[in-house]
A and B are shown apart, each in its own frame.
Chain A
Amino acid sequence: MVVISLLPAGAAAVLLFGISALWVITLGVISALATEILLQILTKKKVTVLDGSAFLTGLLLAYNLPPKTPFWLPIVGSFFAIAIGKQVFGGLGQNIFNPALVGRVFLMASWPKFMTTFTLPLRYDAVTSATPLAAVKEGKILESLSYLDLFLGKRAGCLGEVCILALLLGALFLFIRGYISWHIPIPYIATVSLFAYIFGPKGLLSGDWLFHILSGGLILGAFFMATDYVTSPLTRKGQIIFGVGCGIITSVIRLWGGYPEGVSYAILMMNAATPIIDRYTKTRVYGSK
Protein backbone atom coordinates (compact mmCIF):
# COMPACT_ATOMS: atom_id res chain seq x y z
CA MET A 1 0.00 0.00 0.00
CA VAL A 2 2.78 2.42 0.90
CA VAL A 3 4.38 1.39 -2.38
CA ILE A 4 1.29 2.53 -4.31
CA SER A 5 1.35 5.86 -2.54
CA LEU A 6 4.94 6.38 -3.60
CA LEU A 7 4.24 5.73 -7.28
CA PRO A 8 3.30 9.35 -8.17
CA ALA A 9 6.61 10.62 -6.79
CA GLY A 10 8.48 7.99 -8.79
CA ALA A 11 6.62 8.87 -11.96
CA ALA A 12 7.36 12.55 -11.37
CA ALA A 13 11.05 11.74 -10.88
CA VAL A 14 11.21 9.88 -14.19
CA LEU A 15 9.44 12.76 -15.93
CA LEU A 16 11.76 15.32 -14.41
CA PHE A 17 15.10 13.57 -14.54
CA GLY A 18 14.67 11.16 -17.41
CA ILE A 19 15.24 7.47 -17.74
CA SER A 20 18.28 7.36 -15.40
CA ALA A 21 15.96 7.90 -12.44
CA LEU A 22 14.04 4.78 -13.45
CA TRP A 23 17.30 2.82 -13.52
CA VAL A 24 18.27 3.97 -10.03
CA ILE A 25 14.86 2.94 -8.69
CA THR A 26 14.89 -0.44 -10.45
CA LEU A 27 18.40 -1.32 -9.33
CA GLY A 28 17.68 -0.25 -5.74
CA VAL A 29 14.55 -2.38 -5.54
CA ILE A 30 16.07 -5.45 -7.22
CA SER A 31 19.12 -5.33 -5.00
CA ALA A 32 16.99 -5.00 -1.86
CA LEU A 33 14.85 -8.00 -2.85
CA ALA A 34 17.88 -10.10 -3.79
CA THR A 35 19.66 -9.30 -0.52
CA GLU A 36 16.57 -10.22 1.48
CA ILE A 37 16.19 -13.59 -0.29
CA LEU A 38 19.90 -14.37 -0.08
CA LEU A 39 20.23 -13.59 3.63
CA GLN A 40 17.08 -15.44 4.59
CA ILE A 41 18.27 -18.53 2.73
CA LEU A 42 21.74 -18.25 4.25
CA THR A 43 20.40 -17.95 7.80
CA LYS A 44 17.85 -20.71 7.06
CA LYS A 45 14.85 -18.52 7.84
CA LYS A 46 11.52 -18.45 6.10
CA VAL A 47 11.81 -16.40 2.94
CA THR A 48 9.39 -13.51 3.48
CA VAL A 49 10.34 -11.42 0.51
CA LEU A 50 6.73 -11.18 -0.69
CA ASP A 51 5.62 -9.10 2.32
CA GLY A 52 6.75 -6.03 0.40
CA SER A 53 8.95 -4.56 3.13
CA ALA A 54 12.19 -5.14 1.24
CA PHE A 55 10.61 -3.69 -1.89
CA LEU A 56 9.65 -0.58 0.06
CA THR A 57 13.12 -0.25 1.59
CA GLY A 58 14.76 -0.42 -1.83
CA LEU A 59 12.27 2.05 -3.25
CA LEU A 60 12.70 4.56 -0.41
CA LEU A 61 16.47 4.29 -0.60
CA ALA A 62 16.40 4.97 -4.33
CA TYR A 63 14.20 8.01 -3.70
CA ASN A 64 16.96 9.31 -1.44
CA LEU A 65 19.65 9.16 -4.12
CA PRO A 66 20.61 11.76 -6.69
CA PRO A 67 19.04 10.96 -10.08
CA LYS A 68 22.32 10.38 -11.90
CA THR A 69 24.45 8.15 -9.73
CA PRO A 70 26.92 5.43 -10.68
CA PHE A 71 24.90 2.25 -11.22
CA TRP A 72 26.46 0.45 -8.24
CA LEU A 73 25.46 3.08 -5.68
CA PRO A 74 21.80 1.98 -5.30
CA ILE A 75 22.92 -1.68 -5.37
CA VAL A 76 25.43 -1.27 -2.55
CA GLY A 77 23.08 1.00 -0.63
CA SER A 78 20.18 -1.44 -0.78
CA PHE A 79 22.42 -4.32 0.20
CA PHE A 80 23.65 -2.39 3.23
CA ALA A 81 20.15 -1.23 4.13
CA ILE A 82 18.73 -4.77 4.16
CA ALA A 83 21.79 -6.59 5.54
CA ILE A 84 22.95 -4.18 8.27
CA GLY A 85 19.83 -2.11 8.73
CA LYS A 86 17.39 -5.00 8.99
CA GLN A 87 18.55 -8.62 8.84
CA VAL A 88 21.38 -8.22 11.37
CA PHE A 89 18.78 -7.20 13.95
CA GLY A 90 16.65 -10.24 13.13
CA GLY A 91 14.46 -9.14 10.25
CA LEU A 92 11.26 -7.16 9.93
CA GLY A 93 9.93 -5.85 13.23
CA GLN A 94 13.24 -6.18 15.05
CA ASN A 95 15.16 -3.34 13.46
CA ILE A 96 15.74 -0.23 15.58
CA PHE A 97 16.53 2.03 12.64
CA ASN A 98 14.69 2.70 9.43
CA PRO A 99 16.62 0.44 6.99
CA ALA A 100 16.35 2.78 4.00
CA LEU A 101 17.83 5.63 6.03
CA VAL A 102 20.62 3.38 7.35
CA GLY A 103 21.49 2.70 3.71
CA ARG A 104 21.37 6.37 2.82
CA VAL A 105 23.54 7.47 5.74
CA PHE A 106 26.05 4.73 4.93
CA LEU A 107 26.28 5.93 1.34
CA MET A 108 26.50 9.52 2.52
CA ALA A 109 29.39 8.73 4.88
CA SER A 110 31.17 6.53 2.36
CA TRP A 111 30.80 8.26 -0.97
CA PRO A 112 29.91 11.89 -0.22
CA LYS A 113 31.08 12.93 -3.68
CA PHE A 114 28.54 10.80 -5.54
CA MET A 115 25.78 11.49 -3.04
CA THR A 116 25.94 15.26 -3.38
CA THR A 117 26.34 15.60 -7.14
CA PHE A 118 22.89 16.69 -8.22
CA THR A 119 21.66 17.44 -11.70
CA LEU A 120 19.03 19.93 -12.75
CA PRO A 121 15.69 18.49 -13.87
CA LEU A 122 14.25 18.80 -17.37
CA ARG A 123 17.70 19.15 -18.89
CA TYR A 124 19.25 16.41 -20.93
CA ASP A 125 22.80 17.69 -20.79
CA ALA A 126 23.17 16.77 -17.11
CA VAL A 127 24.09 20.16 -15.70
CA THR A 128 25.15 19.70 -12.11
CA SER A 129 23.78 22.04 -9.53
CA ALA A 130 23.55 22.43 -5.78
CA THR A 131 20.26 21.70 -4.06
CA PRO A 132 18.37 24.83 -2.97
CA LEU A 133 19.19 24.13 0.68
CA ALA A 134 22.89 23.70 -0.08
CA ALA A 135 22.91 26.92 -2.09
CA VAL A 136 21.27 28.83 0.74
CA LYS A 137 23.75 27.32 3.19
CA GLU A 138 26.61 28.67 1.12
CA GLY A 139 25.04 32.13 1.30
CA LYS A 140 23.76 32.31 -2.25
CA ILE A 141 20.39 33.88 -2.85
CA LEU A 142 17.95 32.09 -5.09
CA GLU A 143 15.88 34.30 -7.31
CA SER A 144 15.16 31.87 -10.09
CA LEU A 145 13.09 29.46 -8.01
CA SER A 146 9.49 30.31 -7.23
CA TYR A 147 7.45 28.39 -4.68
CA LEU A 148 5.55 26.84 -7.56
CA ASP A 149 8.80 25.50 -9.05
CA LEU A 150 9.69 24.00 -5.70
CA PHE A 151 6.20 22.56 -5.32
CA LEU A 152 6.29 20.89 -8.73
CA GLY A 153 9.85 19.71 -8.32
CA LYS A 154 11.76 21.83 -10.79
CA ARG A 155 14.91 21.88 -8.73
CA ALA A 156 18.02 19.83 -8.10
CA GLY A 157 17.71 17.20 -5.41
CA CYS A 158 17.31 13.53 -4.60
CA LEU A 159 15.02 11.93 -7.15
CA GLY A 160 12.08 11.15 -4.90
CA GLU A 161 12.05 14.27 -2.77
CA VAL A 162 11.69 16.99 -5.40
CA CYS A 163 8.06 16.76 -6.51
CA ILE A 164 6.09 17.88 -3.45
CA LEU A 165 2.78 17.65 -5.33
CA ALA A 166 3.26 13.95 -6.08
CA LEU A 167 4.41 13.22 -2.53
CA LEU A 168 1.40 15.00 -1.06
CA LEU A 169 -0.92 13.03 -3.33
CA GLY A 170 0.62 9.81 -2.01
CA ALA A 171 0.43 11.01 1.57
CA LEU A 172 -3.23 11.97 1.12
CA PHE A 173 -3.93 8.46 -0.11
CA LEU A 174 -2.27 7.01 2.99
CA PHE A 175 -4.26 9.34 5.26
CA ILE A 176 -7.58 8.46 3.66
CA ARG A 177 -6.91 4.74 3.86
CA GLY A 178 -5.80 5.16 7.47
CA TYR A 179 -2.25 3.83 7.09
CA ILE A 180 -0.66 6.86 8.71
CA SER A 181 -2.01 9.37 11.19
CA TRP A 182 -1.19 13.06 11.54
CA HIS A 183 0.62 12.58 14.86
CA ILE A 184 4.14 12.30 13.43
CA PRO A 185 4.24 14.26 10.14
CA ILE A 186 2.28 17.36 11.15
CA PRO A 187 4.20 18.15 14.38
CA TYR A 188 7.43 17.41 12.46
CA ILE A 189 6.68 19.86 9.65
CA ALA A 190 5.22 22.43 12.06
CA THR A 191 8.35 22.36 14.23
CA VAL A 192 10.66 22.78 11.25
CA SER A 193 8.67 25.70 9.87
CA LEU A 194 8.47 27.33 13.30
CA PHE A 195 12.25 27.12 13.74
CA ALA A 196 12.86 28.30 10.18
CA TYR A 197 10.53 31.27 10.74
CA ILE A 198 11.97 32.31 14.12
CA PHE A 199 15.64 31.93 13.27
CA GLY A 200 15.63 33.53 9.85
CA PRO A 201 18.73 34.79 8.08
CA LYS A 202 17.83 38.46 8.67
CA GLY A 203 17.23 38.27 12.40
CA LEU A 204 14.42 36.85 14.47
CA LEU A 205 11.00 36.16 12.95
CA SER A 206 12.10 36.75 9.38
CA GLY A 207 12.68 33.23 8.11
CA ASP A 208 11.31 31.82 4.87
CA TRP A 209 9.44 28.92 6.42
CA LEU A 210 7.65 27.84 3.25
CA PHE A 211 11.00 27.47 1.50
CA HIS A 212 12.21 25.17 4.28
CA ILE A 213 9.15 22.96 3.92
CA LEU A 214 9.24 22.76 0.14
CA SER A 215 12.98 22.29 -0.37
CA GLY A 216 14.93 19.30 0.88
CA GLY A 217 13.58 15.95 1.88
CA LEU A 218 11.24 17.08 4.64
CA ILE A 219 7.95 16.00 2.99
CA LEU A 220 9.34 12.62 1.92
CA GLY A 221 10.89 12.05 5.34
CA ALA A 222 7.95 13.24 7.42
CA PHE A 223 5.19 11.34 5.62
CA PHE A 224 6.92 8.19 4.39
CA MET A 225 9.95 7.48 6.58
CA ALA A 226 9.31 8.90 10.04
CA THR A 227 5.95 7.09 10.04
CA ASP A 228 7.47 3.61 9.68
CA TYR A 229 5.54 1.44 12.17
CA VAL A 230 8.53 -0.55 13.37
CA THR A 231 10.79 2.35 14.26
CA SER A 232 8.36 4.97 15.59
CA PRO A 233 6.59 5.15 18.98
CA LEU A 234 3.34 3.30 19.55
CA THR A 235 1.24 5.79 21.47
CA ARG A 236 -0.28 9.01 20.08
CA LYS A 237 1.52 11.12 22.68
CA GLY A 238 4.82 9.40 21.91
CA GLN A 239 4.35 10.00 18.20
CA ILE A 240 3.88 13.74 18.74
CA ILE A 241 7.06 13.84 20.84
CA PHE A 242 8.80 11.88 18.07
CA GLY A 243 7.65 14.34 15.41
CA VAL A 244 8.66 17.41 17.40
CA GLY A 245 12.06 15.83 18.18
CA CYS A 246 12.65 15.10 14.50
CA GLY A 247 11.71 18.68 13.69
CA ILE A 248 14.10 20.16 16.24
CA ILE A 249 17.04 18.03 15.10
CA THR A 250 16.33 18.72 11.42
CA SER A 251 16.16 22.46 12.05
CA VAL A 252 19.33 22.49 14.15
CA ILE A 253 21.25 20.63 11.43
CA ARG A 254 19.84 22.80 8.63
CA LEU A 255 20.32 26.14 10.37
CA TRP A 256 23.51 25.66 12.35
CA GLY A 257 24.99 22.29 11.36
CA GLY A 258 27.58 21.36 8.79
CA TYR A 259 25.21 19.65 6.36
CA PRO A 260 22.61 21.48 4.29
CA GLU A 261 19.99 18.79 5.00
CA GLY A 262 19.28 16.91 8.22
CA VAL A 263 16.07 14.93 7.71
CA SER A 264 17.69 11.50 7.52
CA TYR A 265 19.92 12.07 10.56
CA ALA A 266 17.02 13.50 12.54
CA ILE A 267 14.79 10.50 11.87
CA LEU A 268 17.60 8.04 12.69
CA MET A 269 18.37 9.82 15.97
CA MET A 270 14.72 9.78 16.97
CA ASN A 271 14.54 6.09 15.95
CA ALA A 272 17.22 5.49 18.57
CA ALA A 273 15.13 7.40 21.13
CA THR A 274 11.93 5.50 20.31
CA PRO A 275 12.26 2.83 23.04
CA ILE A 276 12.69 5.53 25.70
CA ILE A 277 9.72 7.52 24.36
CA ASP A 278 7.66 4.35 24.40
CA ARG A 279 8.63 3.63 27.99
CA TYR A 280 7.61 7.06 29.28
CA THR A 281 4.38 7.37 27.30
CA LYS A 282 3.09 3.91 28.08
CA THR A 283 -0.66 3.98 28.41
CA ARG A 284 -1.99 2.88 31.75
CA VAL A 285 -3.68 -0.46 31.57
CA TYR A 286 -7.27 0.07 32.65
CA GLY A 287 -7.73 -0.80 36.28
CA SER A 288 -4.03 -0.80 37.19
CA LYS A 289 -2.19 1.92 39.07
Chain B
Amino acid sequence: MKKILNEFCKGIIKENPTFVLALGLCPTLAVSVSMINGLGMGIAASFVLLGSNLIISAIKKIVPDRIRIPCFIVVIATFVTITELTMKAYSPALDRALGIYVPLIVVNCIVLGRAEAFAQKNSVLNSLFDGLGMGVGFTLALLLISGIREFLGAGKFFNYTVIKGFAPAFMFGMPSGALLVIGLLLGFFNVLKNRKT
Protein backbone atom coordinates (compact mmCIF):
# COMPACT_ATOMS: atom_id res chain seq x y z
CA MET B 1 0.00 0.00 0.00
CA LYS B 2 2.81 2.34 0.89
CA LYS B 3 4.51 1.69 -2.44
CA ILE B 4 1.34 2.49 -4.35
CA LEU B 5 0.95 5.73 -2.45
CA ASN B 6 4.57 6.50 -3.24
CA GLU B 7 4.02 5.92 -6.98
CA PHE B 8 1.12 8.33 -6.83
CA CYS B 9 2.86 11.07 -4.85
CA LYS B 10 6.13 11.15 -6.78
CA GLY B 11 4.41 12.48 -9.90
CA ILE B 12 3.09 15.48 -8.04
CA ILE B 13 6.28 16.94 -6.59
CA LYS B 14 9.43 14.83 -6.74
CA GLU B 15 9.09 13.84 -10.40
CA ASN B 16 6.67 16.48 -11.56
CA PRO B 17 6.44 16.01 -15.35
CA THR B 18 6.59 19.73 -16.14
CA PHE B 19 8.94 21.21 -13.59
CA VAL B 20 11.32 18.34 -12.84
CA LEU B 21 11.24 16.00 -15.85
CA ALA B 22 10.53 18.96 -18.20
CA LEU B 23 8.38 16.76 -20.44
CA GLY B 24 5.38 17.82 -22.50
CA LEU B 25 6.31 21.49 -22.53
CA CYS B 26 4.81 22.13 -25.96
CA PRO B 27 1.12 21.82 -24.98
CA THR B 28 1.96 23.46 -21.65
CA LEU B 29 3.25 26.55 -23.42
CA ALA B 30 0.42 26.62 -25.90
CA VAL B 31 -2.74 26.10 -23.83
CA SER B 32 -1.83 27.81 -20.56
CA VAL B 33 -3.49 31.10 -21.51
CA SER B 34 -6.46 30.56 -19.22
CA MET B 35 -7.11 28.30 -16.27
CA ILE B 36 -10.13 26.67 -17.92
CA ASN B 37 -7.94 25.60 -20.84
CA GLY B 38 -5.23 24.44 -18.46
CA LEU B 39 -7.64 22.35 -16.43
CA GLY B 40 -9.23 20.86 -19.56
CA MET B 41 -5.87 19.94 -21.03
CA GLY B 42 -4.71 18.50 -17.70
CA ILE B 43 -7.76 16.29 -17.32
CA ALA B 44 -7.59 15.10 -20.93
CA ALA B 45 -3.90 14.22 -20.61
CA SER B 46 -4.49 12.54 -17.23
CA PHE B 47 -7.21 10.33 -18.69
CA VAL B 48 -4.94 9.29 -21.56
CA LEU B 49 -2.06 8.62 -19.17
CA LEU B 50 -4.24 6.54 -16.91
CA GLY B 51 -5.68 4.47 -19.76
CA SER B 52 -2.42 3.96 -21.63
CA ASN B 53 -0.47 3.03 -18.49
CA LEU B 54 -3.19 0.53 -17.55
CA ILE B 55 -3.37 -1.21 -20.94
CA ILE B 56 0.35 -1.13 -21.64
CA SER B 57 1.27 -2.67 -18.29
CA ALA B 58 -1.38 -5.33 -18.89
CA ILE B 59 -0.12 -6.28 -22.37
CA LYS B 60 3.59 -5.88 -21.64
CA LYS B 61 4.23 -9.66 -21.75
CA ILE B 62 2.69 -10.21 -25.21
CA VAL B 63 4.24 -7.18 -26.93
CA PRO B 64 7.44 -8.08 -28.80
CA ASP B 65 10.26 -5.87 -27.65
CA ARG B 66 11.30 -4.71 -31.13
CA ILE B 67 7.94 -3.23 -32.10
CA ARG B 68 6.88 -1.98 -28.68
CA ILE B 69 6.82 1.72 -29.61
CA PRO B 70 4.26 1.33 -32.45
CA CYS B 71 2.15 -0.84 -30.16
CA PHE B 72 2.27 1.79 -27.41
CA ILE B 73 1.36 4.53 -29.88
CA VAL B 74 -1.68 2.57 -31.07
CA VAL B 75 -2.87 2.20 -27.48
CA ILE B 76 -2.24 5.87 -26.72
CA ALA B 77 -3.91 7.02 -29.95
CA THR B 78 -6.99 5.00 -29.08
CA PHE B 79 -7.37 6.81 -25.76
CA VAL B 80 -6.67 10.18 -27.33
CA THR B 81 -9.39 9.56 -29.92
CA ILE B 82 -11.84 8.63 -27.17
CA THR B 83 -10.94 11.83 -25.30
CA GLU B 84 -11.19 13.99 -28.38
CA LEU B 85 -14.57 12.66 -29.48
CA THR B 86 -15.94 12.91 -25.94
CA MET B 87 -14.75 16.48 -25.70
CA LYS B 88 -16.25 17.38 -29.09
CA ALA B 89 -19.58 15.90 -27.99
CA TYR B 90 -19.89 17.32 -24.50
CA SER B 91 -17.86 20.52 -24.40
CA PRO B 92 -17.32 21.89 -27.91
CA ALA B 93 -16.19 25.26 -26.57
CA LEU B 94 -13.24 23.72 -24.74
CA ASP B 95 -12.48 21.61 -27.81
CA ARG B 96 -12.30 24.74 -29.95
CA ALA B 97 -10.11 26.49 -27.38
CA LEU B 98 -7.61 23.64 -27.15
CA GLY B 99 -7.71 22.99 -30.89
CA ILE B 100 -4.94 20.84 -32.31
CA TYR B 101 -3.41 20.22 -28.88
CA VAL B 102 -5.96 17.53 -27.98
CA PRO B 103 -5.03 15.20 -30.87
CA LEU B 104 -1.40 16.07 -30.20
CA ILE B 105 -1.59 14.38 -26.79
CA VAL B 106 -0.68 11.26 -28.85
CA VAL B 107 2.86 12.57 -29.16
CA ASN B 108 3.01 14.15 -25.71
CA CYS B 109 6.32 13.06 -24.23
CA ILE B 110 4.81 12.45 -20.80
CA VAL B 111 2.46 9.74 -22.07
CA LEU B 112 5.00 7.82 -24.13
CA GLY B 113 7.67 8.51 -21.51
CA ARG B 114 5.66 6.89 -18.73
CA ALA B 115 4.76 3.93 -20.97
CA GLU B 116 8.39 3.40 -21.87
CA ALA B 117 9.95 4.14 -18.50
CA PHE B 118 7.36 2.76 -16.12
CA ALA B 119 4.34 0.85 -17.41
CA GLN B 120 6.26 -1.71 -19.44
CA LYS B 121 8.30 -2.75 -16.41
CA ASN B 122 5.78 -2.57 -13.56
CA SER B 123 2.57 -4.20 -12.41
CA VAL B 124 -0.85 -2.99 -13.49
CA LEU B 125 -1.74 -1.50 -10.13
CA ASN B 126 1.54 0.40 -9.77
CA SER B 127 1.27 1.68 -13.34
CA LEU B 128 -2.27 2.83 -12.70
CA PHE B 129 -1.19 4.95 -9.76
CA ASP B 130 1.90 6.18 -11.58
CA GLY B 131 -0.30 7.40 -14.43
CA LEU B 132 -2.71 9.00 -12.00
CA GLY B 133 0.06 10.75 -10.10
CA MET B 134 1.71 12.02 -13.27
CA GLY B 135 -1.64 13.23 -14.55
CA VAL B 136 -2.39 15.09 -11.33
CA GLY B 137 1.12 16.56 -11.34
CA PHE B 138 0.71 17.73 -14.93
CA THR B 139 -2.70 19.22 -14.19
CA LEU B 140 -1.43 21.07 -11.12
CA ALA B 141 1.54 22.43 -13.06
CA LEU B 142 -0.77 23.60 -15.85
CA LEU B 143 -3.08 25.22 -13.33
CA LEU B 144 -0.17 27.04 -11.70
CA ILE B 145 1.22 28.33 -15.01
CA SER B 146 -2.13 29.25 -16.49
CA GLY B 147 -3.20 30.81 -13.18
CA ILE B 148 -0.20 33.15 -13.22
CA ARG B 149 -0.62 33.91 -16.90
CA GLU B 150 -4.37 34.46 -16.72
CA PHE B 151 -4.08 36.71 -13.68
CA LEU B 152 -1.24 38.84 -15.01
CA GLY B 153 -2.23 38.74 -18.65
CA ALA B 154 -5.99 39.22 -18.40
CA GLY B 155 -6.58 40.20 -14.77
CA LYS B 156 -8.85 37.19 -14.26
CA PHE B 157 -9.01 34.02 -12.18
CA PHE B 158 -11.01 31.17 -13.75
CA ASN B 159 -12.63 33.74 -16.03
CA TYR B 160 -13.77 35.92 -13.12
CA THR B 161 -12.40 39.41 -12.86
CA VAL B 162 -10.66 39.64 -9.50
CA ILE B 163 -9.47 43.21 -9.16
CA LYS B 164 -11.35 46.11 -10.68
CA GLY B 165 -9.20 48.70 -12.44
CA PHE B 166 -6.22 46.38 -12.82
CA ALA B 167 -4.52 46.99 -16.17
CA PRO B 168 -3.38 43.53 -17.29
CA ALA B 169 0.01 43.02 -18.91
CA PHE B 170 -0.90 41.58 -22.31
CA MET B 171 2.53 40.07 -22.72
CA PHE B 172 1.72 37.24 -20.31
CA GLY B 173 -1.07 36.14 -22.64
CA MET B 174 1.39 35.89 -25.51
CA PRO B 175 3.87 33.06 -26.24
CA SER B 176 6.78 35.12 -24.90
CA GLY B 177 4.97 35.40 -21.59
CA ALA B 178 4.47 31.62 -21.49
CA LEU B 179 8.18 30.98 -22.00
CA LEU B 180 9.04 33.56 -19.37
CA VAL B 181 6.67 32.15 -16.73
CA ILE B 182 7.73 28.54 -17.33
CA GLY B 183 11.41 29.48 -17.29
CA LEU B 184 11.10 31.35 -14.00
CA LEU B 185 9.04 28.56 -12.41
CA LEU B 186 11.56 25.92 -13.54
CA GLY B 187 14.31 28.00 -11.98
CA PHE B 188 12.29 28.45 -8.80
CA PHE B 189 11.68 24.70 -8.42
CA ASN B 190 15.34 23.98 -9.10
CA VAL B 191 16.29 26.37 -6.30
CA LEU B 192 13.88 24.59 -3.97
CA LYS B 193 15.32 21.21 -4.92
CA ASN B 194 18.91 22.34 -4.45
CA ARG B 195 18.11 23.82 -1.07
CA LYS B 196 16.70 20.50 0.11
CA THR B 197 19.73 18.43 -0.81
Contact = CB atoms under 8 A, between A and B. Distances in A.
Contact of A109 (B167, B170, B184, B187): B170
Nearest to A112: B170
Nearest to A113: B167
Contact of A106 (B167, B168, B171): B171
B180 A110 contact: no
B58 to A, nearest CB: 46
Size bin of chain A's contact surface: 10 to 19
Contact of A110 (B170, B184, B187): B170
A111 B167 contact: yes
A77 to B, nearest CB: 11
In this complex, which of A76, A88, A110, A111 has the most chain B Cβ atoms within 10 angstroms of its Cβ? A110
Contacts of A88: 184, 187
| B contact residues, range | 10 to 19
A88 B168 CA distance: 23
B180 A111 contact: no
A76 B169 CA distance: 10
B-side interface mostly: helix
A169 interface: no
Contacts of A111: 167, 169-170
A269 to B, nearest CB: 14
Interface in B34-63: none
B174 interface: yes
A84 interface: yes
A84 B184 CA distance: 9
B161 to A, nearest CB: 17
B194 interface: no
A71 to B, nearest CB: 12
A39 B103 CA distance: 42
A97 to B, nearest CB: 13
Interface string A197-218: 0000000000000000000000
A271 B79 CA distance: 46
B169 A84 contact: no
A158 to B, nearest CB: 19
Interface in A105-124: 106, 109-112, 114
Contacts of A114: 167
Interface of B: 167-172, 174, 176, 180, 184, 187
Given A110-B168, A111-B170, 17 more contacts: A70-B167, A76-B169, A84-B180, A88-B184, A88-B187, A106-B169, A106-B171, A109-B170, A109-B171, A109-B176, A110-B170, A110-B171, A110-B172, A111-B167, A111-B169, A112-B170, A114-B167
10 contacts: A76-B169, A88-B187, A106-B169, A109-B170, A109-B171, A110-B168, A110-B169, A111-B167, A111-B169, A114-B167
Counting from the closest, the 5 A-B pairs by CB-CB distance are A110-B169, A109-B171, A110-B171, A110-B170, A106-B171
